[in-house]
Amino acid sequence: MKKSSIALAVTLAIPALAAAQEASTPDPKIQRVEVTGSSIKRTQTEAANAVQIMTRDDIEKTGQTTALGILTAMSSVSTDINSASASSGSFATGSSGVSMRGLSKVATLVLVNGRRIAPYGLSDGAQQNFTNLDAIATDAIERIEVLKDGASAIYGSDAIAGVINIILRSNYQGFQVKGQYSEAPHFQDARNRNVSAIWGYGDIDKNGFNTYLTAEAYKTDGYSQGDLSSHYPAWHRLTPGRSTYDAKSSFSPTGNYFLSSTNIVAAPGCPAADIDPTDKLCKWDATPYAGLRTNNKRHALASSTHFRIGQNINANFEVTAAGEVSDYIVAPFSVSNGSATSSQSIWYNVLGGKMVGPFSYPKLPVGHPMNPYNTAVEYRARMMDTGNGFNFNRTDSDQQRVMLALDGTIGNWDWKSALGYSHSSATKATRAVSAKGYTDAIVNKTYVFGKQNDPALLESMFPVRTTEGEAKVKFFDATVSGTVAQLPAGPLNVAFGTNISQNSYWMKSSDNVLRGDLVGIFGLQVDDSRNEYALFTEANVPLLKNLEMNAALRADKSGDFEAHLSPKLGLRYTVTDSLMLRATASGGFRAPNIVESGNGLGRSSVATGVNDLRRCPIANQLNALVQGAANATTADKAQANSFRNAECSAGLPSFVSSNPNLKPETSRSVTLGAVWEPIKNWSAGLDYYFIERRNEIGTRSVTDVLKGEASLPAGQLIRVDNTANDNEFLALVKKYAPTNTINYGGVGQLGLVYNPYVNSGRTRVSGFDFDASGRFKFMGTDFRLKLDGSYIWKYQNYSQALNGYDENIAGTWDFYDFPASRLKTVTKLYMKKGDFDHSITMNYNSGWGNNSNSSPTYCVTQKVAPENMATCNHVGSNTTFDYSLTYSGIDHVKLSLYVTNIFEQDYPITWRDGYVTQFRRVAVAATYKF
């Protein structure tokens, strides 16, 4: 098999290489290059590693203007967090990250020019340090190389699931400016804009240097549930807990008095237009304030200067910088922050090391100007003076890297080295309810409803809280590689190297959070640094003429932890001119990060979407009695949904402390694959992979904790007496089902879980990656075909409750990717003739099941109607088509059109997740270059 054909298959038919194969002119001189996954330079014709490459041409054909969008156009890469759509309550707002194999972003190593950048300033979940893709200028990207294999023996920590190496432009001459606008024609609120410019000067060969600067700005508009309201399908309302998703809120500017769940009356003075004709309550449309997409603005800069030092040293001075602001759409505060005064909140005082609560919001006392009763009363109203920008949720972040890289040759040896500094910081700011300030303002009658209150009073009731974080990385690395011997089958090439870095991380919630002053708000504090050292070696050993072995070993020492050895062994066997076999076996690891093992006070947080295995089935039965009642009002259905959701999709407070005795996560992985070229320019590859990750750092999953509740140590899971709230639910049910006898049987509501960091988790995943590519010419048109696919065969988590691996969750809702598809494929057809360049892409995601390990009988338990049971049990597959057209027939100008989801295929019915938008989007771009 021709080695160039093998490389072509592995790299998904790199256009430049393919063009060289077809040309009748002699092949250009072979250059030795470094490929992701190896420290040894080699010729392209030798590169048979399982590395997927996305070229600049591929990138431009996607029409994507963010690094996240570009990467998720690959079948093996999934979104882990998206700055445009992440929950406003998450720790790492204002950032984007990806994962591979469903093993999360902390197991996927992202490099820029082969080296790490500082992690995002805010760790996700207050635990996960990761690379923020928003910090990368997309117009500066030359290509992306994805190694679909563990590579800790080469790169160290975090490379368990794979490595994504984003390689920036290294040489640019001239000036180019580009603008792009995108929107959904049937939903114009979904729009974004991007403008970029790049300027470069100098020729390495003629002038001895080249320098360029690229700058870009990006803006996407946020939108709310109200903006999207006309697009919601009818089935969304039938899904559990969403029958009243768009119902007007009884927390209205005028308000209502909640005397009991069966006795709610409108406050005097409500405008007639706001009176609900059915239940006579005073209502307000809150959907315009329910943000679904974030207002996001970002900018990025990148500069690279290549120059020569003497005759044998190449130097590259790189500077990158980025900034981002994310603003969430939020509503004015409501009385009791939208809670019932009978409900209770529990949170944690980090500085005091104790639980706060149970806390209940105060009722209006007797004698309050707004209380017409002779007993304390719950008043449900909207505090409109906390709108108009007073209430906000904003994240500001910035990131920089400065690096000097040198490389050259000494005799027959190649060497490279780099010295750099990387910095990242982020601040999230919003408002929250002060337990004392709010209570005092209501009880002491200082807050006046329906008026613009004094700003100082509002500040005391709803102070600003912040979470700030900062990461710094100083690093040095050096590698030498070369030939040490000539074996009968070829040269023995080796590499030796070292990495030295100092990592520091600081993240802190504001003092009012750490003291436990704010209702239901959780915080953390960590401030530590760590020195890391590594030594590594690698060898390419030609065992036979057609059999090559690659071996690598790396030793990492992180802080006070014991040194860790990561081995890797690979074999490549050329069976015939048209068939190559390959295999790897490796060990990987992830070192405990500073949040997990540093000197911090720990973190408190809320697990969301929690299904109480003891109370949820009862809540579903009670809710069904109200939802199924023919005469139930919208307000009563909404209340019943709220009661039900508090048990089946609830927030569970938890406190987690750092643990300096943690061990590194470890992994073992195996790949087996083949590359086949049946005819020239047509090739296919298939690889099997297996990864088992052990000693996973984290807390036990809430599902696992609840499964083993009976065997938990006393005090680890706290339930609280929720009798008052339960009685309200039961009274509401009796209004429509007088003979009901269903109740909670004295089981209290989930209150708090103590869940420290431990090395307890295990995960194993296996599956197949496959690709195919080909090219031909017909009627003067160049055609190229590419298939990129990934199939998750098994994905299993270890259960402490079962003392073994749990069921396979691949293809179920429990799988951590979204969508939870087992099979994902991306098929592309490129067609170029003259000045017109077309591409058509078919994206396919297989369906999945909603019944899962966490809820094995979800559809039955949720009381889904029989006629909807089929679509509830199984989410259908999703196939969309994208199209792009580029015209370059005008001097210096290139015009582009991008249409995603050409046929406007609706997203499959997702009974468990509700309606998911999938609009057709149209983008136009213009580029001017000279």
* pLDDT higher than threshold 90 for residue 519: yes
- Of the pLDDT bands very low, low, confident and very high (cuts 50, 70, 90), residue 43 is low
Mean pLDDT of 763-781: 95
CA distance 452 to 446: 12
Q: Above pLDDT 70, what percent of the chain?
A: 95
In one-letter notation, the amino acid at residue 375 is: T
Residue 190: the pLDDT is 93
CA distance 304 to 662: 40
Angle, CA 559 vertex, CA 554 and CA 565 arms, to 5°: 20
Residue 761: the pLDDT is 83
Residue 704: the pLDDT is 78
Residue-wise pLDDT tens digits, 251-267 = 999 999 999 888 999 99
Where is pLDDT greater, at 25 or 124? 124
Residue 602: the pLDDT is 63
Bridge-based pairing of strands 354-359 and 345-349 is antiparallel
Reduced to 3 states (helix: H, G, I; strand: E, B; else coil), residue 408 is: strand
Element (H, E) at 620: helix 616-627
Residue 284: the pLDDT is 96
In 3D space, the residue among 7, 107, 95, 788 whose CA is nearest the CA of residue 426 turns out to be 95
* pLDDT higher than threshold 90 for residue 361: yes
Residue-wise pLDDT tens digits, 658-678 = 788 889 999 999 999 999 999
Residue 42: the pLDDT is 62
Phi, psi of 236 (to 5 degrees): -60, -40
Structural tokens at position 910 = 């997702």
Report whether 150 contacts 161 (CB < 8 A). yes
Least confident of 577-581, 633-637, 797-801, 831-835: 797-801
Residue-wise pLDDT tens digits, 429-470 = 999 999 999 999 999 999 999 999 999 999 999 999 999 999
CA distance 838 to 656: 53
* pLDDT higher than threshold 60 for residue 46: no
Residue 19: the pLDDT is 34
Question: Which distant-in-sequence residues (6+ apart) come within 8 Å of 29 by Cβ?
Answer: none
CA distance 703 to 311: 63
Angle, CA 330 vertex, CA 470 and CA 261 arms, to 5°: 125
Residue-wise pLDDT tens digits, 717-731 = 888 888 888 998 999
- Of the pLDDT bands very low, low, confident and very high (cuts 50, 70, 90), residue 364 is very high
Highest mean pLDDT among 241-245, 340-344, 905-909: 905-909
Structural tokens at position 384 = 């409109």
Residue 901: the pLDDT is 97
In one-letter notation, the amino acid at residue 127 is: Q
Mean pLDDT of 121-143: 92
Structural tokens at position 657 = 């402390």
- Of the pLDDT bands very low, low, confident and very high (cuts 50, 70, 90), residue 44 is very low
In 3D space, the residue among 699, 668, 794 whose CA is nearest the CA of residue 161 turns out to be 668
b/e burial code for range 261-283 (CB count within 10 A of at least 16 → b): beebebbeebeeebbbeebebbb
State the residue for tokens 């109370």: 615
In 3D space, the residue among 249, 268, 452 whose CA is nearest the CA of residue 372 turns out to be 268
Residue-wise pLDDT tens digits, 525-568 = 888 999 999 999 999 999 999 999 999 999 999 988 889 999 99
- Of the pLDDT bands very low, low, confident and very high (cuts 50, 70, 90), residue 195 is very high
Bridge-based pairing of strands 524-544 and 848-849 is unpaired
For 718-723, the CB contacts below 8 A with 24+ separation are: 718/346, 718/355, 718/751, 718/752, 718/753, 719/747, 719/748, 719/749, 719/750, 719/751, 720/344, 720/346, 720/358, 720/748, 720/749, 720/751, 721/748, 722/343, 722/344, 722/748, 722/749
Mean pLDDT of 10-31: 37
Residue 91: the pLDDT is 84
* pLDDT higher than threshold 70 for residue 150: yes
For 889-895, the CB contacts below 8 A with 24+ separation are: 889/834, 889/835, 889/836, 892/928, 892/929, 892/930, 893/926, 893/927, 893/928, 893/929, 894/926, 894/927, 894/929, 895/924, 895/925, 895/926, 895/927
* pLDDT higher than threshold 70 for residue 338: yes
Mean pLDDT of 511-523: 91
Residue-wise pLDDT tens digits, 271-281 = 999 999 999 99
CA atoms within a 13 Å half-sphere pointing along the CA-CB vector of 87: 10
CA distance 338 to 381: 9
Q: Above pLDDT 90, what percent of the chain?
A: 72
Phi, psi of 635 (to 5 degrees): -65, -40
b/e burial code for range 720-740 (CB count within 10 A of at least 16 → b): eebeebbebbbebbebbbeee
CA distance 465 to 524: 13
Report whether 793 contacts 810 (CB < 8 A). yes
Where is pLDDT greater, at 550 or 715? 550
Question: Can you name the residues that pair with 507 across neighbouring β-strands?
Answer: 469, 526
Angle, CA 387 vertex, CA 383 and CA 388 arms, to 5°: 150
Mean pLDDT of 610-635: 92
Residue 193: the pLDDT is 96
Residue 28: the pLDDT is 43
- Of the pLDDT bands very low, low, confident and very high (cuts 50, 70, 90), residue 45 is very low
How does the average pLDDT of the chain come out, rounded? Answer: 90
Element (H, E) at 597: helix 594-597
* pLDDT higher than threshold 70 for residue 30: no
